[in-house]
Structures are given as C-alpha cells and as structure tokens.
Amino acid sequence: SNYVQDGEVLGKGAQGVVIKLKHKESGKICCLKQVFLKDSSTMQLAQVEMDIMTKLKHQNLIQCVSAKIHRNHALIQMEYADKGDLDSILKTSLSEKLLLNIVAQLTLGCHYLYKNRVIHRDIKPKNILIVTKAGQPLFKLADMGLSKLLDKTDDQTATQLGTPYFMSPECFSGIPYDYKSDIYSLGIVFYYLMEKVLPFKGRSYENQKKIVVLGTYDKIKSSYFSDEAKELCYNMIQKSTTKRFNHQQILTSNVMKQTMVELRQYYALIGADDVVLQITDF
C-alpha cells in the first residue's frame, strides 16, 4: 500500500479500531477502520454493505475510498476529518446560524441516503464529523451501513454501546422504520446542541426505551435560540412518524430560508454541483 500509519489511533471500540494513515508520496491523510467480523454470514453482510458504502458520494457524507475483507476483518479506508467530531464542539456556545447550518447540511446528507435507499440508523454526535473546506466547516455523516454490521456482530451490542440516547421510538419498539428514524436522531442532536442536555436520558436501555416511547420531554429553555428554531426541532422529534417532518419540510421551513441561500452559494463555491441541484429541487 502507498499509505503508512501516521502513528495515531483515532478510535477504539468493541468492534475494532480506526487508524490514521498518511500517503507516502502526496502526504494525504486518510483513515482506516478495521471491523472484526465474527462469522461467514457477517462477512457476506459486510460485503453488501461495503459495496453500498463505496458507491455513496455526497459532500455531507464521509467518503469511503475503498473497502475490502481481509481474513476476518473489514478494512474500510475513509476520508479523514481534520476537525474531529461534533462531540468536540458540544461544550462551546454555538450560534443559531451555525446550528441551522449543521442541521441543513446533515439533512441534505440524509436526503441523499434516502434517495439511495440507505437508512443510517446510528446518527449521533460521534458519527458526525467536521471537515474544513474553503474556510468553512462541512458536516459529514460517518459510518453509513456499519450499524447493520454491528447489530450482527454481537447480541450484546445494546449493552456494549451503552444507552442509545439518539434512537427513535419506532426502533425501540421493533416496528418497521424508515428514513424518518434518521430525522428523529438528527432532531435529538439538534436539541442537544441547543440545550446541552438530552431530551430523553434513561438510566438503562430499558428505561430509555420507556421514556422515548412515552415521548414526554422538557421544552428548550435556552433563550439564545428563536422559537422558530425550537419549533423545527420539536417537529423533528415528533413521536408520530406521520407528524414528524420530512427532509422537504425541514429545508423549506421559514427559519431555514437564509441558511439555504447561503448553503447554495457555498456548495457552488466548492464545486458541489450535485448538491446545488439537490437544493434547487426542494
């Protein structure tokens, strides 16, 4: 390979590691994610998922450069995010302008996934990475398709991965879910960014399931944000999937108007004509 390890281990989980790599000639940085596959059925699933991942191309998704299976590991080479993940900015005070920008960008990413029949299923701050492009932050969803693999990897993932604070009521209830489940998770991230606390914080998996399915939460108290922004957030975390906003409703809501104008200019500036077209279609 033309890449050498850059010394840094970026993440370590129950399922594998993420290593930072550097290209020998160009010096370009990328990441290598190694996921342990416990049996042949998981390997087959991994192959399917990896084929999907390498085909997905959007500015608001972490690009999967290549993916292969070596022995009993999936090796996934991905674009490197120079600014870390969303967790790293959670503690700072964020303007409404930036928050709307984050939500709009990630909604565009989700909409692209939906168009390609992919549900992320694990949207949370750790899976939202930040890359600087043309002096501005691009927010990207990472780990598409991996949640399916991890489900198969271990029956204990529920306990290992801790309490799923960003999981939708329909996922908890085991009823069929669709893209609206991703919108719910994104809404929880939005709430968390505004309020710095989670709307539903259970003591355990079972307790989390109970309070999410019940669906009662405290309204956002922070006075830094407009009622329109809060209202958008509440519409994204509606318990009922029919009442919950879809991509179109989020991106065409009044509070998003200015954000969408600016984003359209930004995507044009960085040469992302596909996203400019995507925005035009809303």
Ranges 141-155, 189-203, 242-256: which has the least confidence: 141-155
Output the pLDDT for position 3.
66
State the pTM of this model. Answer: 0.90
Domain boundaries, the chain: 3-79, 86-280
**pLDDT recorded at residue 1:** 63
Catalytic annotation, pick one of 51, 87, 122, 155: 122
Superfamily grouping for domain 3-79:
Phosphorylase Kinase; domain 1 (3.30.200.20)
* Identity of residue 187: G
45-49, 69-73, 115-119, 212-216: which has the minimum mean pLDDT? 45-49
- Residue 94 near residue 143, CB atoms below 8 Å: no
The CB density around residue 202, as the number of other CB atoms within 10 Å, is: 16
Over residues 229-254, the mean pLDDT reads 98
- Mean pLDDT of the chain, nearest integer: 88
Tens of pLDDT along 152-192? 444 444 444 456 899 999 988 888 888 999 999 999 999 99
The Cα–Cα gap between 143 and 127 comes to 7
> Which residues contact residue 112 at a Cβ distance below 8 angstroms, ignoring those fewer than 6 apart?
56, 58, 60, 61, 278
pLDDT digits (tens, 9 = 90+) for 50-89: 888 888 999 999 999 888 998 888 898 999 998 999 998 8
- Tell me if residue 122 is catalytic: yes
Domain 3-79 identical in fold to domain 86-280: no
Model pLDDT, residue 173: 86
- Residues 97-113, mean pLDDT to the nearest whole number: 97
- Report whether CATH 3.40.190.10 matches the domain 86-280: no
pLDDT for 159 equals 41
Please give the pLDDT value at position 154: 42
Strands 128-133 and 73-79: unpaired
pLDDT band at 36 (very low <50, low <70, confident <90, very high): confident
